[in-house]
Amino acid sequence: MHIDDTLKQDVINELEKRVSFRLKFPDELEKEFLDYYFVKMLPYIKFSLRFGLIIYFLFGLLDYLLYPNVVQLLWAIRYGVGSLFIVWALTQFEWVESDSALEFVQAFNLFVVGLSIIAMLSYLTFDETQKYYAGVMIVTFYIYVASGLRLKYSMAAGLMLALSYIIAAFTVLDTGNTYITNNVFFLASANVIGILSSALSERALRRDFLMSYFFYIQSIEVEKLNDQLMELSRTDELTHLANRRYFHEMAERSWSEMVGTDTPISLLMIDIDYFKLYNDMLGHQAGDRCLSMMGEILKGFERNRLDLAVRYGGEEFLLILSGATNDEALEIATRLKDRVFGMKIPHPGSGIADFVTVSIGVATLVPSDTNDISDLIKAADEALYRAKAAGRNCVVNAGDLSAVSEL
């Protein structure tokens, strides 16, 4: 479900106006409501048709009890027209793709059922009480109350049925003005009551939709906020690299997953040479810019989603290379060292160069049941210590520890 800012604002605006009787939302929101309506109401509309068919079918017993002399004719209308139209409407739900078309089928079907009762009345003119007029009233209330249709469809079917009865009453039905006046008055009242009932039902459904949609939007916003908070908890604010906490969470999980795969993991431990002097001489703002640039450089050395650049603390960084052999890790470390020097970031406090340099310790290990990530970190840290002792601005290799651990 697509939610943009305009749609969100439409939902909020409609909630503020929810006491009104408006039964139409702005276009984008109306489309979302129709999706909601059809998912919620189509099963009910199908049930309504099936239930209506049973009731309409059972009224054939009344045909036999009240008018046995013409029951064949009444049954021909009821079962040859009315019931067949209900069955036809049910079949449409299996192949009609447009949901709005299904509403039209339901409305048209109920209108035809009402017409079938008017047709029966036209053959029962000998009975001036017009007992089957009650059937027209039942269908009218069924249209508005039990059909599940939106107001515009129920109102169209109900009013068309009322108009059809009025036309028949003045042209076909042989009845007095007293009956006509009485019947038309009650039928008009039924339509007014039905329209009000249908409008209230649709309004309540629209309010339910707005509230559910609003809570859905709120849940999406909360989820986004949680994602942002989770990202902040995993990311170093200055360099935008993974932080130490996330590194350990990810590394321990990945390590256990890779046990038994014979896939090596290489680790580069990187330290900016003489960084305290850099901060002391150029200030902390310059130091922050240097760390930020270091973060951008390291990010560029991630080869895939399994690699991870980390700010481990202060001026110390890690680059974990999943699947990299020791030789591949050494080649990457050399390129990284040269890349940093090639940036030519002035460093007036460095004792070895005019520019910022880095020292790197490299270690490689194949995860197994007899080792863990701390062994790899310790080996890379020792290699980094030797790199500093060797004069800095260099790469020192702790080697492939897997071979050592096997001895």
Show the DSSP H helices in 235-274 as ranges.
244-258
Q: What is the dihedral of CA 28, 30, 36, 37, to 10 degrees?
A: -160
Residues 1, 349: Cα–Cα separation, whole Å: 57
Q: What are the domain boundaries of the chain?
A: 5-219, 244-406
The pLDDT score that the predictor gives to residue 406 is 37
For residue 171, what are its two tokens? Answer: 């042209």
Domain 244-406, architecture per CATH: 2-Layer Sandwich (3.30)
Looking at the DSSP bridge assignments, the partners of residue 358 are: 272
Angle between helices 177-234 and 133-141 (to 10 degrees): 10
pLDDT at 295: 93
Measured from the Cβ of residue 355, the count of other Cβ atoms closer than 10 Å reads: 15
Q: What is the pLDDT of residue 264?
A: 92
Q: What is the pLDDT along the chain (407 residues), one digit of tens a residue?
A: 455 556 656 665 665 565 455 677 777 778 888 888 888 888 888 888 888 888 988 999 999 999 999 999 999 988 888 788 778 777 776 666 666 678 888 888 889 999 999 999 888 888 777 888 899 999 999 999 998 899 999 999 999 999 999 998 888 876 666 777 888 899 999 999 999 999 988 888 888 888 887 787 777 777 777 766 666 667 888 898 988 888 888 888 888 888 888 889 999 999 999 999 999 899 989 999 999 999 999 999 999 888 899 999 889 999 999 989 999 999 999 999 999 999 999 999 898 999 999 999 999 999 988 888 889 999 999 999 999 999 999 999 997 666 443 32
How far is residue 157's CA from residue 332's CA, in Å, rounded to a whole number? 76
Q: Which of 212, 223, 218, 247 is nearest to 233 (CA)?
A: 247
Residue 383 pLDDT = 94
Structure-block tokens of residue 332: 């990457």
Whole-model pTM: value is 0.58
Structure tokens at 168: 């028949």
pLDDT at 407: 29
